[in-house]
Structure 1
Amino acid sequence: MGTVTVVGAGVVGLSVAHELARAGHRVSVVADRAAADSVSGVAAAIWFPHDVDHSATVLESAAVTYRRLAELAGDPRTGVSLRGGTVLSRRAGVDTSWTRAVPHTAPAAPDGLPPGATGIRCTVPLVETSTYLAWLRGRVAALGVRFRAAAVTSIAGLLRDDDADALVVAAGLRSAALLGDDDVSFPIRGQVVRLANPGLTDWITDDDNPGGLTYVVPRRDDVVCGGTGDVGCWDERVDPDVEAAILERVVALVPALAGQPVRSRAAGLRPGRAGVRVGPVAGHDRPVYACYGHGGAGFTLSWGDAARIAAMLPPDGLPGPVAAPDAGGQ
């Protein structure tokens, strides 16, 4: 058994804390934002490896998370459900490797699809973010994890003031600055508008929409409509012109949304990176691990990557610091 501090309280940080505590570690979480106030609270939170590479490791983590969320869907307190929907494509040669992580997929019937589009039908987990993040934090706290509200400005400073045996950096976009990884990490700005739900149950995603990224994700009380994928943009303000364009696209895709009142709106910064980073970080006097760069797939990879981190920190003896030069990557 060791003591581990997790930096970050979004869906990835909470999942990491859960798995480490379940393995027997004494865990603390430090963050200056609650999960609901992070990009995790903005997400449509439908299972899909969006804005990340589809490497074998990523797809394995996605599959692990799929199975875990599917199990949680049996408990209404979690806010997880299994929903059918369609992934649209409008070009040849689109990457469908993600289907290997889904138990069953089938071609969508051409009736009702946009002209020139094809589709893949599948059932995936959908997370009601406010319910799920509150449930997950409660589960983490029940495992004895302690929470501290503080801004972490440097890893060296945290290690100086914290006596934990090991540190896991799972702070989303902020992780890159903390670990000197800015050259391969970048924000991906996402904006959504949430409309009243007129009775929709099926979701639809349209990455190849000529007007821009488009998705419609019905939840219990609203429909998350998006979106944007503005690489390198740090602006977290809601842009009314962007919202108007999103509404035009989603209504064209799902006419039942026309005239539905706006419930809320939001923008957030997805933690983009050249590759998801999960593993040890060199150059510190105690073991430090990275778990970030999940792009638009934080909910999709959360349990799988948390399990990977837990496997690297066995409760019967934490490994020592990494002395070799850190090459980044995964």
Structure 2
Amino acid sequence: MGHIAVIGAGVIGLTIAYELAEAGHDVTVLAERDHTGAVSSVAAAIWFPHAVDTAPRVLESAELTRQRLTALAQADPRTGVRLRTGTVLTRHAGPDLSWTAAVPGHRPATAAELPPGADGVTCELPVVVTGPYLTWLRTALDAKGVRFRAAALTSPADVDPGFDAIVVAAGLRSGALLGGDDQVFPIRGQIVRLANPGLTRWLLDDDNPGGLTYVVPRDDDVVCGGTGDTGAWDETADPATEAAILRRAIALVPALAGAPVVSRAVGLRPARTAVRLEAISGYAVPVICCYGHGGAGFTLSWGEASAVRALVDAL
């Protein structure tokens, strides 16, 4: 058993803490904000490798995560994970469908499932209702004896002595913590949540002519998005952008017309030119990096946590 510090309390950091505690390690999570203040709480959180590189290792991580989320959905609805059917639209020749290798039962969308001018793939995917899920995960960590400590760190060297290893899983802040990784950048995402009029089917339309569009029904609300503003740091919701999102969403799903707004939010996806998952030297104790997951934190969480666990166990 090792004493491990995990920097970061988003879905990646919390899932890593879970896996390490499950393996018998003594784990402390260090973060400036808890999970309610992380970008993970803003995510539509449907399983899909969005805004992340699709290297073979990343897709393997996504497949393992889909399996774990599916098992959670089937075992306990209190986890907040739901299995829902929907369609990923494609609007140009040669779309990247590498993700379908991890999704059994996918099929070409029928004409009735498609808007004019689009093709697509229909399948069943896990949808995570972020509030209940992150609360469930935090409760499970408490039960495993994981400790949480508020900490404003500038480097792994700031972590108190006594740990055998440190995991950097702080999303967008990870690059700065490691001395300025210039391959890290934000992708701004704005969403609006509408009261759910009874929808269960989701729709993803990355190539919508008007901009990135998705409609993801959860339990009582529907997450409508979005934006993919690379390099933008503004976390203020823009009314004009929201109006455009709603126009696109309602055009695809007319049943949303007239649904009242429940809430709105902006989050900064922690992107990188490639996911960074490796052990690095140069510190008093071993440091393992796990960040750069873009819009796929929930999609990769369990796979990445399993890989970090293997790296820690090999130290």
Q: Indicate the TM-score class for this superposition, using the shorter chain for normalisation.
A: over 0.9
Tell me the secondary structure at the aligned position of residue 235 of structure 1.
Answer: coil
The equivalent residue for 1:6 is 6
TM-superposed deviation, 1:181: 4.2
Instruction: Spell out structure 1 runs of 4+ moving beyond 4 A.
Output: none
The equivalent residue for 1:285 is 284
The answer to whether residue 138 in structure 2 is matched with residue 114 in structure 1 is no
State the alpha-carbon separation in 2 of the partners of residues 44 and 196 from structure 1. Answer: 14
State the alpha-carbon separation in 2 of the partners of residues 36 and 205 from structure 1. Answer: 25
The answer to whether residue 293 in structure 2 is matched with residue 294 in structure 1 is yes
State the alpha-carbon separation in 2 of the partners of residues 100 and 281 from structure 1. Answer: 31
The equivalent residue for 2:77 is 76
TM-superposed deviation, 1:11: 0.5
Give the counterpart letter for 1:90 in structure 2: R
TM-superposed deviation, 1:282: 2.4
Alignment of 1:39-188 (within 5 A): 39-74=39-74, 75-158=76-159, 161-188=160-187
1:233-258 C-alpha deviation (Å, 9 max, x unpaired): 01111111110110110011111111
Compute the RMSD of aligned alpha carbons: 0.9
TM-superposed deviation, 1:183: 1.4
Give the counterpart letter for 2:58 in structure 1: V
State the alpha-carbon separation in 2 of the partners of residues 235 and 55 from structure 1. Answer: 30
Give the counterpart letter for 2:61 in structure 1: S
Tell me the secondary structure at the aligned position of residue 136 of structure 2.
Answer: helix
Structure 1 gaps, min length 5: 320-330
Q: 8 Å contact 2:157–2:284 — kept in the other structure? A: no
The equivalent residue for 1:247 is 246
1:292-313 C-alpha deviation (Å, 9 max, x unpaired): 1000000000000000000111
1:202-241 C-alpha deviation (Å, 9 max, x unpaired): 0000000000000000011000000001000011111111
State the alpha-carbon separation in 2 of the partners of residues 207 and 136 from structure 1. Answer: 29
State the alpha-carbon separation in 2 of the partners of residues 249 and 275 from structure 1. Answer: 30
State the alpha-carbon separation in 1 of the partners of residues 4 and 110 from structure 2. Answer: 50
State the alpha-carbon separation in 2 of the partners of residues 18 and 116 from structure 1. Answer: 44
- How many residues end up aligned between the 2 structures? 314
TM-score of the superposed pair, with normalisation by structure 2: 0.98
